[in-house]
């Protein structure tokens, strides 16, 4: 299989402009003859569905939540990047592009990332017009703050609830189209398979989560906006229901899965408190604007934070990375935290935490100012831990947060299955091996508001699409396969619950495919995961039946897919015998302990093809061409 990225020729600055001109247009009267199925209603899904419906397409939108407003984008806290340069501090589209390419450790496509930076400014304008209450200065103009991996202040925010406000903006735009009748909204539906007819994506089979019925939806294209797969690790900052199932089923129908081992471990999360833990909570990266990260210099220091004098503290990020300090990118900050904990200098009951200290900020800015900026985060920390971060430093530890890998897409955001488009975190395209803070919201909305409305038209015009409805044999076959699988899950009647299996998978992935990886551990994971998968299919215990609301059945189906994906994550991590971004192979590090890339051998996207049950995945490579940026050792010193 030849992977064609379809990146347009020409200078970087004019690629997108030219591409937009060259894409074929659908006549306004013809748009209403096309139905597009959009799966997921996060930032990417809601913005895509709303924007396409505004153009006149018929849109069917599904989400697993009881309301589209609850999609997991809502949890994003800190902000959204844009190259407005309102601060006059030297920002530009090119700088945002450059920071993002560098932040991703040179494992993303130049043209995609440039387009992302280019449309970033339109996103802010769009959101302001929708009534998103971004933070403002006293003069009434928009306010900015800094995020990791950048030396300019380009992050727009709405207190610590930026994702919520952006999602509500996209959600209200979506609901407006529901009101016009252009969008058919179907909440509490989970996509369980993709329907491919004559080699093209023509619809989906979904599970009605309230009644258990299987439902089919046909269209001329499918747009997948179903988020990332961080929950493979069991514990992550993802929502309880976030999953890979929709993407994985597409993968098994022929869509290549790219860079599955590129996962982001976020440095600032509330540490695990016990075995009962069901999820981990992020403390926004924005806290690193004012908080200082430290541990005691002495290993095993038993004293509480306030008894450790300044001279016996190690502000290790400021020490190791003087120019970026506490605002180094996430992968760098996470590994640094792991390193000091491995040295026995971690704090708290488990020793698996570092301090994030606001004493200096409170001294400098005053308590009120700090409360104004971070109050909701401090309150959240207090509710979870019972400790008051205004008085004692927060304890934080890295946690799985975001997945840069995902379904492979070309410049038009189309996967290797014609008609199947993939947006937002579900695709692999823009963040390389490490995503910078405040860039996920930017990408989700860029894809949905400003890319897919153009590229979908080109596909629809240029593709013969004979009438296919839900009675078509491809729908019947797919529905039957889905039903058999649900029946199989319920018929095992073993002795272990989905949670028990999921915890075990999470442990393997965290230990072997987590913050630092080595060949031996990855091989171990590739043996342990198939064994666990086999046990799962023999010993799963599920309550109830499939014709009722049955959340354990939902979880079991998702876990079955994580058990397959987990193995591929390990395989990909083993095959990529270099360190880059969040993928840190212990065998490949610089003398200072930083990730050491191998551009000669690994400057490509790994796109994996499903080869059938019990057969190893096949690797395809998309070579990354860097025409405009010089590949360098990433340095934040």
Tell me if 388 contacts other proteins by CB under 8 A: no
Nearer to other proteins, 281 or 470 (CB): 281
- Work out which of 17, 89, 125, 198 binds other proteins, going by CB under 8 A: 125
- Work out which of 5, 126, 216, 516 binds other proteins, going by CB under 8 A: 126
Nearer to other proteins, 165 or 579 (CB): 165
Nearer to other proteins, 137 or 342 (CB): 137
Q: Shortest approach of other proteins to residue 66 CB, angstroms?
A: 6
Stretch that binds other proteins, among 165-173, 329-337, 402-410, 603-611 (CB under 8 A): 165-173
Nearest 5°: CA angle at 475, between 45 and 37? Answer: 15
Residue among 330, 335, 517, 533 flagged as catalytic: 330
Stretch that binds other proteins, among 104-112, 154-162, 432-440, 508-516 (CB under 8 A): 154-162
- Work out which of 222, 239, 332, 347 binds other proteins, going by CB under 8 A: 239
Residue 184 tokens, joined: 């058919």
- How far is Cα 194 from Cα 202, in angstroms, rounded to an integer? 8
Nearest 5°: CA angle at 489, between 42 and 193? Answer: 40
Give residues 523-542 in contact with other proteins (rule: CB under 8 A).
Answer: 541-542
In sequence order, what are the beta bridge partners of 257?
A: 407, 608
Nearer to other proteins, 278 or 491 (CB): 278
Q: Shortest approach of other proteins to residue 563 CB, angstroms?
A: 19
Assess contact for 200 and 73: CB atoms under 8 A: no
- How far is Cα 312 from Cα 610, in angstroms, rounded to an integer? 53
Chain-centroid distance, C-alpha 434? 11
Nearer to other proteins, 231 or 415 (CB): 231
- Work out which of 2, 90, 383, 614 binds other proteins, going by CB under 8 A: 383
Contact map string, positions 324 to 363, toward other proteins, x by CB under 8 A: ----------------------------------------
- How far is Cα 195 from Cα 458, in angstroms, rounded to an integer? 21
Contact map string, positions 247 to 286, toward other proteins, x by CB under 8 A: --------------------------xx-xxxx-xx----
413: left (phi over 0), alpha (psi -120 to 50) or beta: left
- Work out which of 6, 24, 33, 136 binds other proteins, going by CB under 8 A: 136
Tell me if 138 contacts other proteins by CB under 8 A: yes
Q: Shortest approach of other proteins to residue 399 CB, angstroms?
A: 12
Q: Shortest approach of other proteins to residue 183 CB, angstroms?
A: 9
Q: Shortest approach of other proteins to residue 630 CB, angstroms?
A: 33
Contact map string, positions 476 to 505, toward other proteins, x by CB under 8 A: -------------------x-x-xx-----
- How far is Cα 73 from Cα 90, in angstroms, rounded to an integer? 30
Nearer to other proteins, 470 or 541 (CB): 541
Stretch that binds other proteins, among 3-11, 13-21, 168-176, 590-598 (CB under 8 A): 168-176
Q: Is the dihedral of CA 622, 626, 629, 631 positive or negative?
A: positive
Task: Please tell me whether residue 17 adopts helix, strand or coil conformation.
Answer: helix
Task: Please tell me whether residue 520 adopts helix, strand or coil conformation.
Answer: helix
DSSP 33: T
Tell me if 317 contacts other proteins by CB under 8 A: no
Task: Please tell me whether residue 555 adopts helix, strand or coil conformation.
Answer: helix
- How far is Cα 521 from Cα 81, in angstroms, rounded to an integer? 36
Give residues 536-595 in contact with other proteins (rule: CB under 8 A).
Answer: 541-544, 548-552
Give residues 183-202 in contact with other proteins (rule: CB under 8 A).
Answer: 185, 187
Helices (DSSP H) in 517-550: which residue ranges?
519-539
Stretch that binds other proteins, among 104-112, 388-396, 447-455, 609-617 (CB under 8 A): 447-455
- How far is Cα 174 from Cα 85, in angstroms, rounded to an integer? 30
Tell me if 215 contacts other proteins by CB under 8 A: no
Give residues 406-445 in contact with other proteins (rule: CB under 8 A).
Answer: none
Stretch that binds other proteins, among 120-128, 305-313, 600-608, 619-627 (CB under 8 A): 120-128
Q: Shortest approach of other proteins to residue 169 CB, angstroms?
A: 9
Residues 6+ apart with CB under 8 A from 103: 149, 329, 431, 432, 434, 435, 436, 439
Nearer to other proteins, 208 or 523 (CB): 208
Q: Is the dihedral of CA 229, 234, 239, 242 positive or negative?
A: positive
Stretch that binds other proteins, among 2-10, 127-135, 330-338, 358-366 (CB under 8 A): 127-135
Q: Shortest approach of other proteins to residue 497 CB, angstroms?
A: 5
Task: Please tell me whether residue 52 adopts helix, strand or coil conformation.
Answer: helix
Task: Please tell me whether residue 396 adopts helix, strand or coil conformation.
Answer: strand
Q: Is 330 a catalytic residue?
A: yes
Residue 527 tokens, joined: 């043996």
> Residues binding other proteins: what is the number (CB under 8 A)?
85
Distances (CA, A) of 492 to 249, 549, 555, 566: 21, 19, 15, 22
Tell me if 384 contacts other proteins by CB under 8 A: yes
Tell me if 129 contacts other proteins by CB under 8 A: yes
Nearer to other proteins, 23 or 497 (CB): 497
Give residues 282-311 in contact with other proteins (rule: CB under 8 A).
Answer: 282
Distances (CA, A) of 541 to 89, 226, 492, 535, 556: 58, 27, 7, 11, 9
DSSP 414: B
CA atoms within 13 A on the CB side of 229: 33
Give residues 25-84 in contact with other proteins (rule: CB under 8 A).
Answer: 47, 50-51, 54, 65-70, 72, 74-75, 84
**Burial letters for 546-555: b for 16+ Cβ neighbours within 10 Å, e otherwise?**
beeebebbbb
Please state the φ and ψ torsions of residue 356, each to the nearest 5 degrees: -120, 110
Helices (DSSP H) in 72-144: which residue ranges?
93-103, 110-130
Nearer to other proteins, 70 or 585 (CB): 70
Helix H or strand E encompassing 50: helix 43-55
Q: Shortest approach of other proteins to residue 140 CB, angstroms?
A: 3
Assess contact for 230 and 258: CB atoms under 8 A: no
Tell me if 122 contacts other proteins by CB under 8 A: yes
Residue 298 tokens, joined: 């002495």
- Work out which of 140, 309, 464, 613 binds other proteins, going by CB under 8 A: 140
**Residues annotated catalytic, as ranges:** 330
């Amino acid at each position: 299989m030849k992977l064609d990225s379809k990146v347009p020729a020409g200078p970087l600055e004019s690629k997108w402009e030219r591409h937009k001109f060259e894409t074929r247009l659908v006549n306004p009267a013809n748009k209403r003859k096309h139905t597009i199925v959009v799966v997921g209603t996060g930032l990417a899904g809601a913005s895509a569905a709303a924007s396409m419906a505004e153009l006149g397409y018929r849109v069917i939108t599904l989400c697993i939540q009881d309301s589209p407003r609850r999609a997991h984008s809502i949890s994003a806290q800190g902000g959204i990047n844009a190259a407005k340069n309102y601060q006059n501090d030297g920002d530009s589209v090119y700088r945002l592009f450059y920071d993002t390419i560098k932040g991703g450790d040179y494992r993303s496509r130049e043209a995609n990332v440039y387009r992302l930076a280019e449309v970033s400014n339109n996103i802010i304008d769009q959101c302001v017009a929708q009534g998103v209450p971004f933070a403002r200065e006293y003069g009434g103009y928009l306010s900015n703050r800094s995020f990791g991996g950048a030396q300019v202040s380009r992050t727009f925010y709405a207190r610590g609830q930026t994702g919520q406000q952006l999602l509500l903006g996209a959600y209200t735009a979506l609901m407006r189209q529901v009101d016009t009748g252009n969008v058919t909204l179907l909440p509490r539906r989970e996509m369980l398979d993709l329907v491919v007819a004559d080699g093209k994506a023509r619809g989906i089979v979904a599970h009605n989560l309230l009644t258990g019925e299987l439902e089919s939806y046909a269209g001329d294209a499918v747009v997948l906006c179903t988020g990332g797969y961080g929950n493979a690790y069991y514990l992550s900052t993802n929502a309880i229901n976030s999953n890979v199932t929709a993407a994985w089923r597409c993968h098994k129908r022929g869509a290549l899965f790219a860079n599955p081992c590129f996962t982001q471990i976020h440095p600032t999360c509330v540490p695990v408190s016990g075995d009962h833990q069901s999820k981990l909570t992020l403390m926004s990266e924005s806290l690193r604007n004012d908080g200082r990260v430290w541990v005691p210099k002495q290993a095993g220091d038993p004293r509480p934070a306030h008894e450790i004098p300044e001279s016996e503290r190690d502000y290790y990020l400021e020490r190791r990375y003087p120019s970026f300090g506490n605002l180094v990118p996430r992968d760098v900050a996470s590994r640094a935290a792991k390193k000091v904990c491995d040295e026995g200098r971690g704090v708290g009951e488990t020793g698996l935490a570092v301090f994030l200290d606001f004493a200096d900020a409170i001294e400098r800015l005053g308590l009120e100012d700090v409360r104004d900026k971070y109050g909701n985060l401090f309150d959240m920390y207090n509710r979870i831990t019972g400790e008051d971060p205004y008085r004692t430093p927060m304890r934080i530890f890295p946690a799985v947060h975001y997945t840069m890998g995902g379904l492979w897409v070309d410049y038009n955001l189309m996967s290797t299955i014609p008609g199947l488009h993939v947006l937002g975190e579900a695709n692999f395209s823009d963040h390389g091996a490490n995503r910078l803070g405040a860039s996920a919201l930017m990408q989700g909305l860029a894809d949905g508001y400003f890319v897919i409305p153009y590229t979908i038209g080109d596909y629809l015009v240029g593709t013969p699409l004979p009438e296919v409805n839900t009675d078509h044999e491809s729908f019947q076959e797919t529905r039957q396969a889905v039903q058999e699988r649900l029946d199989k899950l319920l018929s095992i009647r073993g002795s272990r619950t989905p949670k028990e299996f999921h915890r075990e998978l999470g442990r393997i992935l965290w230990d072997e495919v987590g913050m630092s990886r080595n060949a031996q551990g990855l091989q171990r994971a590739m043996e342990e995961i198939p064994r666990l998968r086999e046990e799962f299919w023999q010993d799963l215990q599920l309550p109830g039946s499939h014709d009722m609301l049955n959340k354990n059945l939902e979880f079991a189906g998702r876990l079955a897919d994580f058990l397959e994906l987990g193995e591929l994550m390990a395989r990909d991590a083993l095959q990529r015998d270099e360190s880059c971004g969040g993928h840190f192979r212990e065998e490949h590090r610089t003398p200072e302990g930083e990730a050491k890339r191998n551009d000669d051998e690994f400057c490509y996207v790994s796109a994996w093809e499903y080869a059938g049950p019990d057969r190893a995945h096949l690797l395809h490579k998309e070579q990354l061409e860097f025409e405009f940026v010089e590949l360098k050792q990433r340095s934040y010193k």
